[in-house]
Chains A and B, each alone.
Chain A
Amino acid sequence: MNYTNLSKVAVNALRRNKLRAILTMLGIIIGVASVIAMLAIGQGSKKSIQDQVSSMGSNMIFVMPSQQRMGGVQLGNTNSQSLTVNDVEAIIKECPSITKVSPEVRSSGQAIYSNQNSPTSIYGVGVDYPDIRKVKVKSGRMFTDREVKTSAKVCLLGKTVITNLFGENADPIGLTVRFGRIPLTVIGVLEEKGQNSFGQDQDDIILAPYTTVQKRILAVTYLQTISASAVSEAKSSQAVEELTNVLRTHHKLKEGADNDFDVRTQAELISTLSSISNILTILLGAIAGISLLVGGIGIMNIMYVSVTERTREIGLRMAIGARGLDILMQFLMESIMLSVIGGIIGILLGIGASSVISSVMKWPVVVMPASVVLSFVVCTAIGIFFGWYPARKAASLDPIDALRYE
């Protein structure tokens, strides 16, 4: 029997039991649709995380003091004071792959204006900080080198701080806010950045010269972070190497001693976050895959019922000249058709569901061609795998017994 005949016979058999065929397909349809939709959601979240992270600056490098051990006790990294302004100057001078460097020192406290106050964080930074961190000044201006040197009492405010202290759409430039006891003149407003991928509000921020924060607010000499940007993304690993060497020399670390600082790059951050969303994708896909498996078992079940129900038909077909192989192929073809047609409908439904999810729930959704191809292949495989045993059972029937079967 050739394949045209075979598929004709299979289609006829399915047509004879339309409702049952559709219900059986439903298992596969739901399975495939959920696999496609789940993978699309997983991929969407991965892509949006990557986009967000790279919007923070793609060739960024952070240096933080590393955790220190003291008698076996891990001390938090904020306690360590290994980074200083000298390090910043050394990096600027001695690292050719690094273009911009900014020290960073943070403090949290209350920002106060007239009778309003708001808890916020003040970031003491250098003049290059906006370029490195992709922060833009919306109105007013950034502070200058001179203001950094003189520890000027100036600041730039983020949107959230302005809303909390002055109300929506207020223009605070020229006014004076207090951070703790220190009055700071507002010289600029920062452009909104929204939440970052950790859910932190990036607009709840006050920028001030790092000297001001170090001397006037915290009264410290160390830095919490050094941000730097490499010449290009490709050069970032070279930049990390140079930076590490420079800091080791300046910190007078002996050969073999551990670094007293940690260097992180944006690329590492992206890969860490991606691996989290990959786990999410796998998890969602696996749950959806289970429903696909259940759909496959449904096909197997129905094919067994079908073989039993059509025992006499099988006997007749054998009597009029069907070989075992013909019977095997007929039932295999039926189950493959069930799963493949179900799979195609499922793929369409999955793509449809993904676009509904993205438009109704505003979730980022990316349907990958690979997942479509994969589910199609899996469907065919399910048809063959779960159709095989019922088909074998049909093919191995004895024609005499099959003809007499009641």
Chain B
Amino acid sequence: MKKTIIEVKNLRKEFHVGEVTVRALRGINMEIREGDFVAIMGTSGSGKSTMLNILGCLDKPTSGDYLLDGLSVASLNKNELAALRNNKLGFVFQSYNLLPRTTALENVELPLFYNSKIKAKERKEIALNALEAVGLADRMHHTPNQLSGGQQQRVAIARSLVNDPVVIFADEATGNLDTRTSYEVMSLFQELNAKGKTIVFVTHEPDIARFTTRNVIFRDGHIIREGDVEDRFNAREMLDNMPINTDYE
């Protein structure tokens, strides 16, 4: 039995908008184990983003338990949550969220600035290793506007890797990319997963979800379906079989 990374019990989240109470999550039970590559799916308003915010320790549930790597998140204060995000979590966003006019290397280093245990010398080395892992070591001095969308997302992935997180959260990480580049990014995620990284991937595209190992489908604040992916796509193979794009030649 693999180690449980995330354990959620009867999780509820309510928002108060004026006098109306919106029940975004209505009793979620979920478990994610080490090495899982989970896709959280659902239409907009299904609660998947709220779920990701809570899992990512950016938001707190109204009620219910959340154990992250054996730690009860509900009892932590703001600063402890920030430290937790810094040490244990990685984030990849739809719009990359890289700092403009800042080199790829500096972008990747960023999380380490908030970890006082890491010295300036180590910082650069760790960041460089992370960039190497996403195949962009040769672009370390490029700024985001000198990189393509796919490369920017890979820098963002390197940034999420730099603190060796127990789980990486990706929020529509392929949402801004064309099909080919999406597959490249998914191939990278599959590679990382193969090396043992736990990944939680939020998407509304079913074909992207088929690159993962397990799908959890949300609707109206409930999990309506959950199951392992049977005929899983291999992104590398699909890329190799894709006709080469000649549009820009």
| Residues in A lying within 8 Å of B, measured CB to CB | 1-2, 4-5, 8-9, 12, 16, 312-313, 315-326, 399-400, 403
* Cβ of B127 to closest chain A Cβ, rounded Å: 13
Partner among B79, B87, B95, B159 whose Cβ is within 8 Å of the Cβ of A323 = B79
Contact partners of A312 in chain B: CB under 8 A? 95, 97
Q: A12-B106, A16-B100, A400-B53 are in contact. Are A319 and B116 (CB under 8 A)?
A: no
| Residues in B lying within 8 Å of A, measured CB to CB | 53, 56, 58-59, 78-79, 82-83, 85-87, 91, 93, 95, 97, 99-102, 106, 110-111, 113-116, 120, 159, 163
A320 touches B53 (CB 8 A): no
Contact partners of B95 in chain A: CB under 8 A? 312
Q: Nearest CB to that of A326 among chain B residues?
A: B114
- Rounded to whole angstroms, the CA-CA distance of A323 and B95 in the bound complex is 22
A400 touches B110 (CB 8 A): no
B100 touches A319 (CB 8 A): no
A313 touches B99 (CB 8 A): yes
A4 touches B100 (CB 8 A): no
- Rounded to whole angstroms, the CA-CA distance of A403 and B169 in the bound complex is 14
Partner among B78, B85, B113 whose Cβ is within 8 Å of the Cβ of A5 = B113
B159 touches A320 (CB 8 A): yes
Judged by DSSP, the binding face of A is helix
Partner among B78, B100, B120 whose Cβ is within 8 Å of the Cβ of A324 = B78
* Cβ of B108 to closest chain A Cβ, rounded Å: 11
A-B pairs with CB below 8 Å: how many?
Answer: 68
Q: A312-B97, A399-B58 are in contact. Are A320 and B114 (CB under 8 A)?
A: yes
Q: A313-B99, A400-B53, A403-B97 are in contact. Are A320 and B110 (CB under 8 A)?
A: yes
Q: A319-B56, A400-B58 are in contact. Are A16 and B102 (CB under 8 A)?
A: yes
Q: A2-B116, A9-B113, A400-B59 are in contact. Are A322 and B82 (CB under 8 A)?
A: yes
Contact partners of A316 in chain B: CB under 8 A? 93, 97, 99
* Cβ of A16 to closest chain B Cβ, rounded Å: 4
Contact partners of A5 in chain B: CB under 8 A? 113, 120
Q: Nearest CB to that of A15 among chain B residues?
A: B101
A321 touches B83 (CB 8 A): yes
Partner among B78, B86, B102 whose Cβ is within 8 Å of the Cβ of A320 = B86
- Rounded to whole angstroms, the CA-CA distance of A324 and B80 in the bound complex is 11
Q: A1-B116, A326-B114 are in contact. Are A319 and B91 (CB under 8 A)?
A: yes
Contact partners of A319 in chain B: CB under 8 A? 56, 58, 85, 91
Contact partners of A1 in chain B: CB under 8 A? 113-114, 116
Q: Which of B56, B102, B114, B115 has the most CB of A within 10 A?
A: B114
- Rounded to whole angstroms, the CA-CA distance of A313 and B59 in the bound complex is 18
